[in-house]
Amino acid sequence: MSARILEGEQGIGESVALLRAGEVVALPTETVYGLAGDAFQPLALARIFEAKGRPLSDPLIVHLPEAGWLERVVRFQSLEQSSVVMELASALWPGPLTLLLPKREDLPELVTAGSSKVAVRITSHPLFQEVLRRLDSPLAAPSANRFGRISPTSAVDVRIELGEKILAILDGGPCQHGMESTIVEVVKEGLRILRPGPISEDQIKKYGHIIPVSGIVNTPGSLPGHYAPAKHLHILKKDILGLAPDPKAALLAFSMPPAELLQGFAAVEVLSPGGDLREAAANFYGALRRLDNSKADIIWAESLPEQGIGIAVMDRMRRSSYGSTTSASSHQGGTS
């Protein structure tokens, strides 16, 4: 079996029919591709975990087409909480923002891994929205990669990740942001950013007090070793200009490196020739995937400035590095 790539109007119709029958389908979002299943069909949820090889302890994000659907999965604890959410919703949804909120009792426990809170998001991707409206049910969807591996930002990348495990992928073109949504927990005391993403802290702080979260957050799925290539990824501590060419290594550069570096490695990916952080984020996972498939033995990665979406890219780069150096290797401990 190799997953079929579906397109257009017919693709939407086939996706809805499969989802209604309790199957899983990979769908495009503006962040990364998601592996979707009906949030109210436990068998579909089980299929998501099985296809990804994901532990049942790691909860799933529920996707809705509009804020009017929130009450299908969320039970607000106070008027104050619902008004903060409505303000965030009208400013930042649809978009790359996920909110962690109290769950409704009848939402299956598999979605939230037994937690009383559910992560919800309204994607701006028109194909995903259309599928949701026609299905008339919320969709649980984690990123459409094997557990712990690189998130897919195109239909072809999904097929590489899960092609043998799922029936269909709806092609919505390359993902606009290329980086997973910002996750924000909404509590009485304020807002807690659990995962950095395309929506920045500056955009969020207008809607509540930001409760600091120390270091890397260990929400169930935010493991230190995640988004990992098979090759070791090392983050350069020194300036890229001080790097000696190495024909056995691959180079992941933020902006255009000097010619001797461009030619001196087994493979080079430039995330944004002009040094634009948004462009770099959109290219990050695809570039990592290509370098992972190159002949190089290891990957050297240049750090990005930690501002705006650069914070999210560096978060993923550190996890990629940690994951690649701790799995089946003699190299131990984070970055180098």
Question: Where along the sequence are the contacts to Mg ion (CB under 5 A)?
Answer: 143
Instruction: Work out how close the CB of 158 gets to ligand TXA at its nearest, in angstroms, rounded to a whole number.
Output: 11
Q: Which does 138 bind (CB under 5 to 8 A by kind): ligand TXA, Mg ion, none?
A: none
x/- site string to ligand TXA, residues 282 to 321, per CB under 6 A? ----------------------------------------
Range 18-47, binding ligand TXA (CB under 6 A): 29, 31-32, 34
x/- site string to ligand TXA, residues 60 to 99, per CB under 6 A? xx----------------------------------x-x-
Instruction: Work out how close the CB of 319 gets to ligand TXA at its nearest, in angstroms, rounded to a whole number.
Output: 11
Range 101-120, binding ligand TXA (CB under 6 A): 112, 115, 117-119
| Residue with nearest beta carbon to ligand TXA | 221
Contacts of 259 (CB under 8 A, 6+ apart): none
**Of the candidates 121, 149, 159, 231, which one interacts with ligand TXA according to CB under 6 A?**
121
The DSSP line for 108-122 is: -HHHHTT-SEEEEEE
Alpha helices in 220-298 (DSSP H): 259-263, 277-292
- Nearer residue to ligand TXA within complex by CB, 122 or 270: 122
Q: Which does 59 bind (CB under 5 to 8 A by kind): ligand TXA, Mg ion, none?
A: ligand TXA
Range 182-211, binding ligand TXA (CB under 6 A): 183
Task: Count other C-beta atoms under 10 Å from residue 317's C-beta.
Answer: 22
Question: Applying CB under 6 A, does 52 fall inside the site for ligand TXA?
Answer: no
Instruction: Work out how close the CB of 225 gets to Mg ion at its nearest, in angstroms, rounded to a whole number.
Output: 13
Question: Applying CB under 6 A, does 143 fall inside the site for ligand TXA?
Answer: yes
Instruction: Name the nearest CA neighbour of 128 among 209, 33, 53.
Output: 33
- Could you give the count of Cα atoms lying within 13 Å of 103 in the half-sphere of its Cβ? 22
What single-letter DSSP state applies at residue 228? B
- Nearer residue to ligand TXA within complex by CB, 41 or 143: 143
Q: Which does 220 bind (CB under 5 to 8 A by kind): Mg ion, ligand TXA, none?
A: ligand TXA
Q: Which pair of structure tokens corresponds to residue 48?
A: 């998501």
In terms of C-beta distances under 8 Å and separation of at least 24 residues, what long-range contacts does 109-117 make, across chains too? 110/42, 110/45, 110/46, 110/49, 110/56, 110/60, 111/39, 111/45, 111/59, 111/60, 111/62, 111/140, 112/59, 112/60, 113/56, 113/57, 113/58, 113/59, 113/220, 115/59, 117/185
